[in-house]
Amino acid sequence: MDTPKIVQKAPIVADCKCGTYFWCACGLSKSQPYCDGSHKGTSFSPMKQVIDEDKKMAWCGCKHTKNPPFCDGSHKDL
């Protein structure tokens, strides 16, 4: 698997509490946008993101962002 699976062509918006998150980069996780270990056996690894305050986040759902793990609108070009 060299290309991530496109989960959706829109951001995954979530209210996140202060803490550490691992964003799924492969698109295979069943708990999007977070990693559940489904990348094992692929060339992908989750991306660690520390959030210092409670806030709404726009995680990349297409897995093609140039600003991982956040949506940058790349899904509009897919």
14-64: pLDDT as tens digits: 999 999 999 999 999 999 999 999 999 999 999 999 999 999 999 999 999
Give pTM, 2 decimals. 0.93
pLDDT at 26: 97
Answer positive or negative: Cα dihedral of 28, 29, 33, 35: negative
Alpha carbon distances (Å) from 8 to 23, 45, 60: 15, 19, 9
